[in-house]
Structure 1
Amino acid sequence: MPDSLTRESTTTSAVLLATTPACRLLSGDGTLLDRLGDQLAALPVREIQVVTAGDGLAADLRGIANIARISTGAVAVLPADLVAHTEALALLLEHPARSTAALVSHDVATAPMRPPVRVEGGKIVAAGSSFHLVPEANATFRGVLQAGEADLAALADVADELAELADTGKLGPVTPVEAVDLLLVGLVRSGVGVRAAAIGPLHADRVTAQNAADVAVQRLGEVDEAKVRLDTSVKADDGFFTTFCVSTWTRHLIKPAVQLKLTPNTVTGVSLALALLAAVWFSAGTQGGRLTGAVLLYLSFALDCLDGQLARYTRTFSPLGAWADGISDRLKEYAVFIGLAIGFGGTGIWYLAVAAMVMQVVRHAVDYTYAGAMADADRVGAQWGRPARSLLESHDVRREEGGVLKLARRLERDTIARWLKKIIVLPVGERTALIAVTAAVWGARATFLSLLGWGTVAAVYQLAGRIARSAR
């Protein structure tokens, strides 16, 4: 029977699998189990259920299935022989979405308690165990799995199926040590979208002996968790202009913003106000007005980046905030277009301004409709998003990719080519820089013509990529 501690303020439950002798290894004044329990108690976890060693792997899996079926919120499953930074656990347990996710490291050195996975586009698309192999693995699973509320039924079904296969010996000599690894394999193969929460420089390692536990705990002290949290609040895969011309200094504003108790939505509001001021200055039509407008537009974009960084640092994402951020981006851009057209004067410039607006609407429609289709694919999973894979297949068979996707993957391996790919799609950072520079130096006509030319190339490139991925 599982023991439990209850905290009613949040909606995540944690299941601690104390099914291996290693969970009783010493750590400080207690055991690894005690240490992990204390870490979870400091995180937004409503209930901690400890599953002690029972009648083997099948019994453990059925216990998890039963818990998943009666839970009313997200459920995290962790082995009690885990030595991890609290910040690493928080990547799952403090994420406001409470979605299905797994803790991974991009260190590809696999081990019996560090199975391989393949990550694509921030999702785990293949996972391994001692029975299931993963060709072209690019990361390793670090033992912590969370199932979002919408996927609890899938978790329960997978756990029951795995229990049946383990009982009949169809998965080979798997042991209770692999319970979480097998659950991840089952969720991925059933078509559930599993977010890859990368630990970066943080540590999360399972151990089997006292000396390994001591070394793992010592390694934790070698990493500054506060600095890692600050670093990871800045997006690692942002555009070129944002990465090198904005985030290099806005990251230093995060802690002052926290101390001032500014919310991400407040920063979004100030960013919108600066963009509207930029539009007013652009409407003056003078060289000085255009230069001032360009500076204000740059500062507005910097705050637009800061609101996301602040949200990630404080983990205060919300649907309202995401909507406000998205809609303010469009309002800022179109207000600036109007200001530039007014400042330039004449009827002809308005045709260019409207054309630039239409181009942006089309490009965003391509992006958002594709994102919506992928979200639908995640929800329906095996029905059409990604066919279910049998748990009895020992090899993960990767589908043959078309020429466009093969080329894209080859380019990803080259740093210069990867940055060029980011630049060519004209993301918001590059777009802001293009508007600010062309408006300040040459004026509105140059701005709109540049946006139309570069935007057309970006739209064709994006459309080709979306079609290729959708066909796959």
Structure 2
Amino acid sequence: MPDSLTSRESTTTSVVLLATTPAGRLSCADGTLLDRITGQLATLPVSEIHVVTPGGGLGADLRGVAKIARISTGALAVLPADLVAHTEALALLLEHPAHATGALVFPDAIAGPMRPPVRVEGGKVVAAGSSFHVVPEANATFRGGLQAGESDLGTLADIAEELAELADAGRLGPVTAVEAVDLLLVGLVRSGAQVRAAAIGPLHADRVTGQQAADTAIAALADVDEARVRLDTSVKQDDGFFATFFVSTWSRYLIKPAVKLKLTPNTVTGVSVALALLAAVWFSAGTQGGRLLGALLFYLSFVLDCLDGQLARYTRTFSPLGAWADGMADRFKEYTVYIGLAVGSTDPGIWRLAVAATILQVVRHSIDFAYAGAVADAARVGAGWGRPPRSLLESAHGRRPTGFLGLTQIVGRRVAGHWAKKIIMLSVGERTALIAVTAAFWNARVTFLSLLCWGGVAVLYQLAGRMLRSAR
């Protein structure tokens, strides 16, 4: 039965703690495992904690979750009390500003009763398993933490009630209360819900069944520096070549000073824009010294452009509005620098080149945004009828996993080819480097011709890639 333990009014995420198995009462330095995870949640932005205690088996536990989901007004997380995890791992799920549906996963090839297999594609959990449901081509394991976004609360409640009826009727086989959260994930995925894969990386999140396992899991937590992991994960992992090797290698050391100064990501974005404006002013001087100083200021502007995202991820204060403002600032800075370079040049045809370079970048951005919008629309339509929900009674025992596809793709990727693709795409980092180097050592004409030639190749590459993806 559910009990309310604590309440905070300033946040929109509540938590259901499933204290329905004996492992939740195992001892630790904080008392019991239930006490431990409750204490961790008290440090996170959680509005309310409900504890579901034993009282009728799996069916009753699931009905308890359904009841809470029916009355919740924000995101609802479901966590087993026997989960031993870093607080930072829980934060990856609970502190995400989107408060969307998600699950804690780890790219682990070893699935087991407390680590059911899942398949992750494009940052989403697209298949999930339990002792009753097999996952073909699994490439990760579910680590017990599940959250349903506000828009999926009704779906979660419906699934919990349906699973309760199936469990009571014995139609799910010998499943027990241990698998309640696993079954809920299966149901959400099969319903067509978009489940974000919150990857824990080097952090730990493990469910335990006995005292020795609990002691071992808790001891393993000390082997990981949570603060270092948080800092590392704040740096974008799949960034461009220039940003990865010439900016992020040292901009990460500015994150903590920025936090101490209480700088917000939007403040850093504003300073970045100011530096780009100063760069444009120096470019407009038309002298070699002016172009050198302008190139340096433009590079520093890009460093701060990376830092604002890193700071947002570190403090978990990013938002759709902030992302939009950051993107608009990138366009504004770049086009302002174009104007500065053109003003400082004596070449009679420089304005035609500047306008052509601007148009080319507008076209490239339009291709990106139009394609992203089409993919989002297709996903919404597909969730409705293109890929109908799968039955919870479809055990798929006849289909065995054939390998860990995601892991082999990552391991088998040729590093040189990966970075070559990044460079060909001429992302904002590569454009910043191109503008800074050509303006500093040559002139504006070389800058615009380089942008047009390289940008033209990037457009063709983009179009070819979009068409191939659409065909697949």
Alignment of 1:274-423 (within 5 A): 274-379=275-380, 382-384=383-385, 386-395=387-396, 413-423=413-423
Alignment of 1:21-420 (within 5 A): 21-379=22-380, 382-384=383-385, 386-395=387-396, 413-420=413-420
Q: Distance in 2 between matches of 1:146 and 1:282?
A: 50
- Displacement of 1:237: 1.4
CA offsets, 1:232-267, max 9 Å, x none? Answer: 111111111111110111100111111111111111
Q: Distance in 1 between matches of 2:77 and 2:114?
A: 18
Q: Which runs of 5+ in 2 are unaligned?
A: 401-405
Q: Distance in 1 between matches of 2:446 and 2:44?
A: 52
Contact 2:347 2:445 in 1 (8 A): no
Q: Distance in 1 between matches of 2:22 and 2:227?
A: 32
Code of the residue aligned with 1:460 in structure 2: it is L
- Displacement of 1:222: 1.4
Code of the residue aligned with 1:260 in structure 2: it is L
Q: Distance in 2 between matches of 1:419 and 1:323?
A: 26
Q: Post-superposition, which runs of at least 4 consecutive aligned residues in structure 1 deviate over 4 A? A: 377-381, 408-412
Distance verdict in 2 for CA 1:134–1:315, change over 3 Å: same
Q: Distance in 2 between matches of 1:208 and 1:134?
A: 24
Q: Distance in 1 between matches of 2:293 and 2:396?
A: 60
- Displacement of 1:374: 3.4
What's the secondary structure of 1:344's corresponding residue? Answer: coil
Q: Distance in 2 between matches of 1:463 and 1:330?
A: 21
Contact 1:193 1:381 in 2 (8 A): no
Distance verdict in 2 for CA 1:417–1:287, change over 3 Å: same
Distance verdict in 2 for CA 1:394–1:457, change over 3 Å: farther
Contact 1:3 1:49 in 2 (8 A): yes
Contact 1:191 1:385 in 2 (8 A): no
TM-score (norm 1): 0.93
- Displacement of 1:187: 1.4
Code of the residue aligned with 1:354 in structure 2: it is V
Code of the residue aligned with 1:262 in structure 2: it is L
Contact 2:118 2:138 in 1 (8 A): yes
The aligned counterpart of 1:439 is: 439
- Displacement of 1:326: 1.1
Distance verdict in 2 for CA 1:241–1:186, change over 3 Å: same
Q: Distance in 1 between matches of 2:411 and 2:41?
A: 41
Code of the residue aligned with 2:367 in structure 1: it is V
TM-score (norm 2): 0.93
Q: Which runs of 5+ in 1 are unaligned?
A: 399-405
The aligned counterpart of 1:427 is: 427
Superposition RMSD in Å: 2.3
Report which stretch shifted further, 317-326 or 2-11: 317-326
CA offsets, 1:119-175, max 9 Å, x none? Answer: 222111222222222222222111101111111122122222322333333333222
Aligned-pair identity in percent equals: 77
Q: Distance in 1 between matches of 2:446 and 2:133?
A: 57
Q: Distance in 2 between matches of 1:156 and 1:469?
A: 35
Q: Distance in 2 between matches of 1:462 and 1:392?
A: 42
Q: Distance in 1 between matches of 2:18 and 2:2?
A: 10
Report which stretch shifted further, 52-61 or 257-266: 52-61
Code of the residue aligned with 2:446 in structure 1: it is A
What's the secondary structure of 2:170's corresponding residue? Answer: coil
Code of the residue aligned with 1:433 in structure 2: it is A
Distance verdict in 2 for CA 1:114–1:440, change over 3 Å: same
